[in-house]
Amino acid sequence: MPVITCIEDLRVLAQKRVPRMFYDYADAGSWTECTYRANCSDFAPIKFRQRVAVNMENRTLRTTMVGEDVRMPVALAPTGFTGMQHADGEILAARAAERFGVPFTLSTMSICSIEDIAAHTSKPFWFQLYMMKDRAFIERLIARAKAANCSALVLTLDLQVLGQRHKDLKNGLSAPPKLTLPNIVNMMTKPRWCLGMLGTQRRGFGNIVGHASDVSDLSSLSAWTAQQFDPALSWADVEWIKQRWDGKLIIKGIMDPEDARLAVQSGADAIVVSNHGGRQLDGALSSIAALPGIVDAVGSEIEVHMDGGIRSGQDVIKALALGAKGVYIGRAFLYGLGAMGEAGVTKTLEIIERELDLTMAFCGLTDVRKVDKAILIPGTWQVPQSYILPGDLA
């Protein structure tokens, strides 16, 4: 086993162990992948102020996200097909997150079901919801999340239509995946993955198959998913969700201050600044570039989180300095999962925790709740001019 020191080490190992179609699903963006790459690269110009001769003892990363105590301000993001990165992937990731002390978010498009996660964990987890045209199915899904004691609902608004993802199209990635000859041949080169899949019965979409109307097996899933994402989604639908969900509501997919203000008006408890990992609108701002403008617009009225491009603890603390109260990691934990299963997810969290802790110390702080723009060099970050609306100039 190679020595693992950073998230990139886990990515390299995952690429070796996970079949190409599923690795590419996780590690790709839409169109030219400009926004996907910017999510990571736009962190680099942001520079720290290093402090010395400051007491660095008794440091703590503990804080809260939507009122829940967390070991550090990091949650596992909802990711589709997680159980195809590694057998029973969602269960393994949820257990790792629970033992570590950070939130786990289960995707609607997960392989393992809500009930699977509830049966293998003892603490509440979060559930991510896509709004489908079949409102009766959505009502049942919300009821299942309540029955599983989910403590927050993460409503994703940026998948009304699907971004064009070239690698997925070339690989035949769909729901369910197409087992083409090239894909089968590639899977045969991943014996560890194949053995894991042979040892589990969880290979479908557990939240959908057997629960949605006319979806009794994988053969009927493709047609259902192709027509269910709702291009007519509106803020009225958010109100419809709130009437059926009385817990914490987090709205994910906010990239514009005007939408952030509408989210505040909706009564949500938090928003996630997110461009879906660069998998939807290519050419959009990176999440970290959009974050300051959104925080300036609504940060005093609602809890602001972000995701996109987080590959280190230093990325986490930069997001916190620019106003996020917490961040979500998607690809980073998927690399760990694909590389080493549950132990890899734990390793991902340990790496990020250590990097976050050390960076905070070098910046002269001992409490993550006190991180703000003062730890950054002025001029190395800015609010995009396009995000300064006419009404903000008064």
pLDDT for residue 83? 97
pLDDT for residue 46? 98
pLDDT for residue 179? 81
In a domain, 1, yes or no: no
In a domain, 330, yes or no: yes
In a domain, 205, yes or no: yes
Q: Is 293 annotated as a binding residue?
A: no
Positions in the chain short of pLDDT 50: 393-394
CATH label of the domain that carries residue 280: 3.20.20.70
Distances, alpha carbon 293 to alpha carbons 106, 224, 282, 387, in Å: 29, 38, 20, 6
pLDDT for residue 1? 72
In a domain, 2, yes or no: no
Q: Is 107 annotated as a binding residue?
A: yes
pLDDT for residue 388? 57
Q: Is 78 annotated as a binding residue?
A: yes
What's the structural domain count of the chain?
A: 1
pLDDT for residue 12? 98
pLDDT for 285-304, tens place per residue? 999 999 999 999 999 999 99
Would you give the DSSP letter of residue 128? E
pLDDT for residue 386? 55
Contact 275, 255 (CB under 8 A): yes
Q: Is 191 annotated as a binding residue?
A: no
pTM score over 0.85:
yes
Contact 335, 359 (CB under 8 A): no
Annotated catalytic residues are 276
Q: Is 244 annotated as a binding residue?
A: no
Residue 208 in tokens: 């959908």
List Cβ<8 Å contacts ≥24 apart for 17-20: 17/190, 17/192, 17/193, 17/338, 17/339, 18/85, 18/86, 18/190, 18/193, 18/338, 19/183, 19/186, 19/187, 19/190, 19/193, 20/171, 20/183, 20/186
Burial (0-12, 13-18, 19+ Cβ within 10 Å), 110: buried
Burial (0-12, 13-18, 19+ Cβ within 10 Å), 351: buried
pLDDT for residue 172? 81
Closest by CA to 156, choosing from 213, 79, 69, is 79
pLDDT for 305-335, tens place per residue? 999 999 999 999 999 999 999 999 999 999 9
Specify the 3-state DSSP secondary structure of 252: strand
Q: Is 219 annotated as a binding residue?
A: no
DSSP string, 308-365: SS--SHHHHHHHHHTT-SEEEESHHHHHHHHHHTHHHHHHHHHHHHHHHHHHHHHTT-
Q: Residue 100's domain spans which residues?
A: 7-392
Q: Is 330 annotated as a binding residue?
A: yes
Q: Based on C-alpha coordinates, what's the Rg of the chain?
A: 20
Beta strand ranges found along the chain (DSSP E): 63-65, 68-70, 74-76, 105-106, 126-130, 152-156, 248-254, 270-273, 303-307, 326-329
